[in-house]
């Protein structure tokens, strides 16, 4: 799992041949901090690419993809948004959401 920014968002997310799961988060967001370990744990056991984007440091990207609240998870495939999850979920529920979006 990597942290992304404006310099590598296009290459790491939009041009990636694999599905990419993007966690839009901020360090002051308590639900984001609770969800972080779940996101990291799943990144080690799933085949998708998992990346994190700090919305405070990169508000332009958050705005470009209509992130209105955090945590917001957007799943990209072939440069397009396939689906999203807003809010924190437990590991099993989040994994099932990813599966449902990528079917």
HEC assignment per residue over 2-67: EECCCCCHHHHHHCCCCCEEEEEECCCCHHHHHHHHHHHHHHHHCCCEEEEEECCCCHHHHHHCCC
Q: How confident is the model at residue 1 (pLDDT cuts 50, 70, 90)?
A: confident
Q: Which is catalytic among the residues 4, 21, 29, 49?
A: 29
Identify whether 29 is a catalytic site residue.
Answer: yes
pTM: 0.95
Identify whether 32 is a catalytic site residue.
Answer: yes
Q: Where are the domains of the chain?
A: 2-102
CATH of domain 2-102: 3.40.30.10
Q: Which is catalytic among the residues 32, 38, 42, 62?
A: 32
Q: How confident is the model at residue 40 (pLDDT cuts 50, 70, 90)?
A: very high
């Amino acid at each position: 799992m990597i942290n992304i920014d404006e310099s590598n968002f296009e290459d790491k997310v939009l041009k990636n041949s694999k599905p990419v799961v993007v966690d839009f988060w901020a360090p002051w967001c308590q639900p984001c901090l609770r969800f972080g370990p779940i996101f990291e744990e799943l990144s080690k056991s799933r085949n998708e690419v998992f990346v994190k984007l700090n919305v405070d440091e990169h508000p332009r990207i958050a705005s470009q993809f209509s992130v209105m609240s955090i945590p917001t998870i957007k799943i990209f495939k072939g440069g397009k948004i396939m689906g999203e999850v807003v809010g924190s979920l437990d590991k099993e529920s989040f994994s099932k959401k990813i599966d449902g979006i990528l079917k």
